[in-house]
Structure 1
Amino acid sequence: MRRVHLEAAEDHVERLAKEHDPVGAVKELIWNALDADARSVRVSIERSLTEGVEKVIVTDDGTGITPETCEATFDRIGGSWKKGARVSQKLGRPLHGQAGHGRLRAFALGAFIRWTTIADGIDGRQKSIISAHNASRNDFQIGDPQSTGEDTGTVVEAWGRQSSVLNKLLVDRARTQITTEFAPYLAMYPEVVIEFDGERIDPQGAIQKETSYGLEFTHDGQNETAVLRVIEWDMRVDRELHLCDAEGVTVDITEVRIQAPGFDFTAYVLWRGMPDHPNEFLLGEASDGPVALLLSATRQQLRDHFKSRAVERRHEIVDRWKDDGLYPYHEEPQTEAEKVERETFDIVATTVQRHMPKPAKHQRATLALLRESVKHQPSHVNKILDEVFRLSSDDKSELDRLLNRTSLSSIIKASSSVADRLDFLAALSHMVFDAEAKKLVKERTELHKILENETWIFGEHYQLLVSDRSLDQVLNRHLEILGRDEQTPAPVRREDGSVGIVDLMLSRSRKEHDRRQHLVVELKAPRVKVTGKELEQIKSYALAVSEDPQFADVRVEWDFWLVTSEMNKMVRAETRQKEKPRGCAWDLSEGEASIRVWVKTWSDLIEESKGRLQYFREHFDHDPSVEQAMEYLRHVHAQYAPEALVMASREAIDDVDFPDGVTPNGESPNGEEASPADTAPISAEGVQTADNQ
């Protein structure tokens, strides 16, 4: 027996051993066996009474280590005979190891290491035993060779290390890592058998789909070609990108760095020059080396691949749901809106299908609930799914990309917006024109408050306007023109003693470049017919407000809207002048200011709004019922929606139970409004004024 001392610092040897990675050590020992032309490699794990790893044994039937090369194999780092060779000595297989570090990885598996190897040397077939201990990693004891008639091969034994790290060998992840590492090699050499902990490694049995692509890149003026092989598994694996030689032997492993939710896969890029560039992948794609260029091309191809596969998989899953009777849609979509909804549902449902309960009845219920979420709350779908299914970051990112960064997002949002507006118009028509509904609607605290958030009805450009507190203050200063001295006047009594409904004046403002735009809307009580008096009054008010010192020398557009149920013939004539837009009674430009006064009826506003939405109405085929309109109010304007109106159908109005002493129009029998909040000042979004006429 002789002692061989490894000429290297012990801490360097310890780093090369990578004792935190026992699975990597097993893989390295398997590669050593395959480089020695082994046809069979068996990894055995002996367990202690506490089910911990007690001993690891790696047995192969390769060519072994000859007595003549034992000392050279263990006395240095590097200098392996494989360094200058491309193929194995006997069978001509591609080689994996070239750095001579493989034997040191055994220290990750045990404190005591023993190699028992049989090989054909100069003096015939001989057995040699080499041993080492982690107390002195640089020293190897090589026993005297003995002649033998046993088959060639090597047995590596490691034991005596008490560490929970070794338990990594006992979990399923260890098997999947070994499977993905050797899949290309075993596909190339199906006669090779690898066993791990009593079971054969069988990549073919776990492969769900395999796809190959040709890759091209240019480096230093030379055109290079490579092959990308993508294996999708039916088991959970770590996503890895294996950098291989042209034969599929792994040289390095790096991160995939693409998003592909729902796919378990391993990518292998095969390039003949890879062995000449070990560890170059650590520089990343920012470098200008060939590996960086190859990585960039590889990842782009992977993105394209899984984008296509995601579409295929969605179709496969949806078809399976249909075959099993779980799909919540039973007819083909007829309208554009239905097509958009269906596409969105398919994306959402197939994204979360892995998180769904397994029983069929539970899946059916889950799919039905998802359908309702997509149909009625498309903008909230992502949040709902995250709360219910606890999606992974990859799933959430991909779903966000699909729903919010594609044309589909614009379509579904447009569809939802148009449907909401049509629902609101139906609700507004019902509240304004229906004789019974009027009794249930409080104009100031309900209808007017709702309109504050639906200013698009006055024109699309007004949808962008927001509340402006300073404008409200200016409006307050000029209320005298309208015969109103204070913002919150006392209740107005009609001739019959009833309380008059207080009008609302909305104000909105925005700044665009160096020009401001203001909208002021006064809503007249339903019984008031607008005459020349009211028109002149609003004109005077508009002029006074626009000439306020606060707005001096400011480029500003003023629009004053007077909305009523009815107007006399003279006022109607003023709003139908040929040179002015319909409804415009006054258009004055003076200095930097532009002032327009409009008089519109509710029917005008609703019909004009419907006209703007007609194209979408036809293509989205959405004609809301009264029930749908009331549902919109309940969801969007819950704070101000007339509860009694929302809950009551047109046919059941008389069956509604109101609080004691309150009539359907919200007034108490003595003519005073039931809720004190009804006479409180509104927020900065509007100025509340009274109609004293």
Structure 2
Amino acid sequence: METKRVRAGSDTLLALADRATPVDIVTELIWNALDAEAMNVDVTVTVNELGAPEEIVIRDDGHGMTYGQVPDLFLIHGESWKKARRFSPNIARPMHGHFGRGRFLVYGIADRVEWRTVAMDGDAMTETMIYSRRSAPNEFSMDGPRPAEEPTGTTVRLIARQEQRVQVLVDGDVVLPVMARLAATLLALPDVKVTYNDNALDPADYVNLDIDLDVVVSDEALQNKGNPRLRVVEWSADMRSKAIFLCDEHGRVVTEYKPNRLPPAPIHWSAYLLWDGFGDHELMGHADLYVPDVRHGELLAVAQHALTQHLNQRLYEQKGKILAEWKSEGVYPYLGEPASPAEEVEREIFDIVAVVASPAIGRDVKQKRFSLRLLQEAARAEPSRTNRILNAVLDLTPDEQQVLSDLLERTKLASIVQAAQTVADRSDFISGLGKLLFSDETRRTFREVDQLHPMLVSEPWIFGDEWALALSESGLARVVEMVVSQSPNTVFAPRPVLLPSGRRGRVDMVFYRYLPESERSRHLVVELKRPMRLTMTEFGQLNNYATAITGNAEVASGLHAWDFWLVGTEIDDAVKNLSNDVSQPGLVSVTARYRLWVIDWATLLDRAQRRIEAFRSALDLVSTDETSRTYLQRRHAEFIPFSE
């Protein structure tokens, strides 16, 4: 037996494995089998006497691996032989793996792993064994080759980790999210049979609707690749996969992206964004697998917009259909037209809540009537006071009930709840981000590109509610093109936009605001720095960006106002001394074309906190360490640095 090491550290490999979900890991192993030209793949999960997963076995009848191929297939992290081949060697099947990570993901669910593979090596059939364990993830032991008589194929045997997260693999409906991730591939390979504990994975049996939505993006966003395609599949069962799966042009899933605040359409859906750029390892590096919106923000924003429009339309359609069905069955709890504006508000709230909750309402008429009556009580608000359920849940005094009643005459209860949640979330984010930036446990490990930046892409309000995020992690030429496109009488001439040194540059975040009263547009460019002291070096970088962008002829001729911010945890005295306007803290330079600001994180977070303070106090909201951690885990878990 021979043992060899991977050219990567144990911590790196385990961090990669632990970020993946058990469903992701099993799906990746199935894809490996399909890449090996398997026509049959069988997944079996056995349990111990307590019902916990004990062993996971994946068997396939693909072409297997020879002993001589194993080093190239197993011992290089972040590289894959498949990236040089788009199709399998014998039957020209589109290949999935291009990133050289699949074999390492097994450590997320297994303590020990064994591969037994049979392949044709020249004129002889041979068997090779490969062994690995989580305690030494960068080591693989190989035994063989030995003569074999069985057909070609590979069996992967995993001894499951005894952890709660692995339990999902024996849930009764785990086949559904596995199927959803494989759907684009399996729908294109009808002759392939994949089973999970003897259950056939055939997504075609669950498809209610399969459509393509228009996605149009700029040439720069395409980066010399083909046009993307957004495929939306609506399912007859809950696949637990309401996400945009980023796929190459053949439908092989590379990673997934979960947008925020999509319409709550009462349907089960999955979206697949197919683009050949997602299969290019140059455009999808390691960080892009977890924060794809940093590099591909425009493409994902356009896809999310198209998906939002589709879900809004489906919500509208389903609302009419479901309400009509309830009314025809006599279970809808309202009769005739609304008797008052308050009842009209009540019905509007009820209709949305009930339609979104419709999958859980039940099918029996009696059960529907009872469930809808309960929902009616929960949504009802009378003109003079809220009902007893709201009173019990919110613990309102009579005066507070009257205030809420008056407010309900001017707005929707859903809007009140959403506004309160927004203020609470923002307060928790400010508190949580401050701890990440200044705590001794995290500030030294908090990274700019793949942690701080992607967090703020989802929280642009931190820089001011008046700004709309226009670009993220974009080249200088893209910034100029965006600005020029907003001016109807100016044509963008595609050419490089260079720094004074002659080099290209990239800015972190660009914000936009149009001022109709002056017919001018304002732009804010933010350069983020992880916890560090800002010196004249960082200030010089910001100044160079400002000079390159605003000095462009098309930009200089337009009605544009520019502010450039440099943000860090501390500011060097030499930079502080540049500021001479005490009425505008942080302003260090003013030219005819732009203003430069250097701001520390403490000041920025304090300003953000002040903007929401009146609302937070009125709502009696308190951000604690626990609520801040909970919010960061819910919204930004993948970007939080590990404590040392």
TM-score by length of 2: 0.54
Contact 1:54–1:160 under 8 Å retained in 2: yes
Shift of 1:309: 0.6
Give the stretch that moved more between structures: 89-98 or 341-350. Answer: 341-350
Shift of 1:144: 2.0
Any gaps of 5 or more consecutive residues in structure 2?
395-407, 416-644
Task: State the alpha-carbon separation in 2 of the partners of residues 64 and 15 from structure 1.
Answer: 28
> Structure 1, residues 226-276: CA drift from partner, whole Å, max 9, x if none?
211122332251422111111111111121223332333221111122212
Q: Could you tell me which amino acid in structure 2 is paired with residue 248 of structure 1?
A: G
**Partner residue, 1:314:** 319
SS at match of 1:216: coil
**Partner residue, 2:438:** none
Shift of 1:15: 2.6
> Structure 1, residues 200-225: CA drift from partner, whole Å, max 9, x if none?
22322333333321211003286962
SS at match of 2:110: coil
Contact 2:61–2:152 under 8 Å retained in 1: yes
Q: Could you tell me which amino acid in structure 1 is paired with residue 58 of structure 2?
A: V
Task: State the alpha-carbon separation in 2 of the partners of residues 326 and 199 from structure 1.
Answer: 37
Indicate the structure (1 or 2) with the bigger Cα radius of gyration: 1
Q: Could you tell me which amino acid in structure 2 is paired with residue 360 of structure 1?
A: V
**Partner residue, 2:245:** 242
Task: State the alpha-carbon separation in 2 of the partners of residues 379 and 11 from structure 1.
Answer: 61
Is residue 222 of structure 2 the alignment partner of residue 226 of structure 1? Answer: no
Contact 1:56–1:109 under 8 Å retained in 2: no
Contact 1:107–1:158 under 8 Å retained in 2: no
SS at match of 1:301: helix
Task: Note closer, same or farther for the CA distance 1:274–1:359 as it changes in structure 2 (3 Å cut).
Answer: same
Task: State the alpha-carbon separation in 2 of the partners of residues 225 and 379 from structure 1.
Answer: 56
Matching of residues 116-195 of structure 1 within 5 Å: 116-159=116-159, 161-172=161-172, 174-195=174-195
Shift of 1:282: 4.9
> Structure 1, residues 540-592: CA drift from partner, whole Å, max 9, x if none?
xxxxxxxxxxxxxxxxxxxxxxxxxxxxxxxxxxxxxxxxxxxxxxxxxxxxx
Task: State the alpha-carbon separation in 2 of the partners of residues 10 and 368 from structure 1.
Answer: 57
**Partner residue, 2:206:** 206
Matching of residues 574-589 of structure 1 within 5 Å: none
Q: Could you tell me which amino acid in structure 2 is paired with residue 271 of structure 1?
A: W
> Structure 1, residues 354-399: CA drift from partner, whole Å, max 9, x if none?
454665235335656877998983797899689789xxxxxxxxxx
Task: State the alpha-carbon separation in 2 of the partners of residues 71 and 249 from structure 1.
Answer: 25
Q: Percent identity?
A: 31
Task: State the alpha-carbon separation in 1 of the partners of residues 372 and 166 from structure 2.
Answer: 43
Q: Could you tell me which amino acid in structure 1 is paired with residue 240 of structure 2?
A: V
Task: State the alpha-carbon separation in 1 of the partners of residues 39 and 391 from structure 2.
Answer: 49
Task: State the alpha-carbon separation in 2 of the partners of residues 342 and 249 from structure 1.
Answer: 44
Task: State the alpha-carbon separation in 2 of the partners of residues 336 and 49 from structure 1.
Answer: 60
Task: Note closer, same or farther for the CA distance 1:403–1:5 as it changes in structure 2 (3 Å cut).
Answer: farther
Task: State the alpha-carbon separation in 2 of the partners of residues 383 and 282 from structure 1.
Answer: 46
Task: Note closer, same or farther for the CA distance 1:201–1:379 as it changes in structure 2 (3 Å cut).
Answer: farther
Task: State the alpha-carbon separation in 2 of the partners of residues 130 and 284 from structure 1.
Answer: 33
Is residue 104 of structure 2 the alignment partner of residue 104 of structure 1? Answer: yes
Contact 2:343–2:382 under 8 Å retained in 1: no
Matching of residues 500-579 of structure 1 within 5 Å: none
Shift of 1:197: 2.3
SS at match of 1:38: coil
Q: Could you tell me which amino acid in structure 2 is paired with residue 198 of structure 1?
A: D
Task: State the alpha-carbon separation in 2 of the partners of residues 352 and 332 from structure 1.
Answer: 23
**Partner residue, 2:86:** 86
SS at match of 1:139: strand
> Structure 1, residues 576-610: CA drift from partner, whole Å, max 9, x if none?
xxxxxxxxxxxxxxxxxxxxxxxxxxxxxxxxxxx
Q: Could you tell me which amino acid in structure 2 is paired with residue 206 of structure 1?
A: Y
Task: Note closer, same or farther for the CA distance 1:67–1:382 as it changes in structure 2 (3 Å cut).
Answer: farther
Shift of 1:125: 2.1
Contact 1:19–1:107 under 8 Å retained in 2: no
Is residue 292 of structure 2 the alignment partner of residue 292 of structure 1? Answer: no
SS at match of 2:217: strand
Contact 2:381–2:387 under 8 Å retained in 1: no
Task: State the alpha-carbon separation in 2 of the partners of residues 221 and 101 from structure 1.
Answer: 26
Task: State the alpha-carbon separation in 1 of the partners of residues 338 and 345 from structure 2.
Answer: 9
Contact 2:248–2:254 under 8 Å retained in 1: yes
Find the partner of 2:279 among 248, 253, 275: 275
Q: Could you tell me which amino acid in structure 2 is paired with residue 299 of structure 1?
A: Q
**Partner residue, 1:439:** none
For the aligned residues, what is the CA RMSD? 3.8
Task: State the alpha-carbon separation in 2 of the partners of residues 340 and 363 from structure 1.
Answer: 22
Task: State the alpha-carbon separation in 1 of the partners of residues 28 and 386 from structure 2.
Answer: 47
Task: State the alpha-carbon separation in 2 of the partners of residues 63 and 403 from structure 1.
Answer: 69
Is residue 268 of structure 2 the alignment partner of residue 264 of structure 1? Answer: yes
Task: Note closer, same or farther for the CA distance 1:370–1:132 as it changes in structure 2 (3 Å cut).
Answer: closer
Shift of 1:307: 0.9
SS at match of 1:273: helix
Task: State the alpha-carbon separation in 2 of the partners of residues 245 and 207 from structure 1.
Answer: 21
Matching of residues 63-82 of structure 1 within 5 Å: 63-82=63-82
> Structure 1, residues 610-648: CA drift from partner, whole Å, max 9, x if none?
xxxxxxxxxxxxxxxxxxxxxxxxxxxxxxxxxxxxxxx
**Partner residue, 2:40:** 40
Matching of residues 585-664 of structure 1 within 5 Å: none
TM-score by length of 1: 0.50
Shift of 1:164: 3.7
Contact 1:206–1:235 under 8 Å retained in 2: no
SS at match of 1:256: coil
Contact 1:241–1:254 under 8 Å retained in 2: yes
Task: State the alpha-carbon separation in 2 of the partners of residues 369 and 2 from structure 1.
Answer: 67
Task: Note closer, same or farther for the CA distance 1:38–1:366 as it changes in structure 2 (3 Å cut).
Answer: closer
SS at match of 1:242: strand
Task: State the alpha-carbon separation in 1 of the partners of residues 239 and 304 from structure 2.
Answer: 21
Task: State the alpha-carbon separation in 2 of the partners of residues 376 and 10 from structure 1.
Answer: 58
SS at match of 2:216: strand
Task: State the alpha-carbon separation in 2 of the partners of residues 383 and 269 from structure 1.
Answer: 47
Task: Note closer, same or farther for the CA distance 1:62–1:372 as it changes in structure 2 (3 Å cut).
Answer: closer
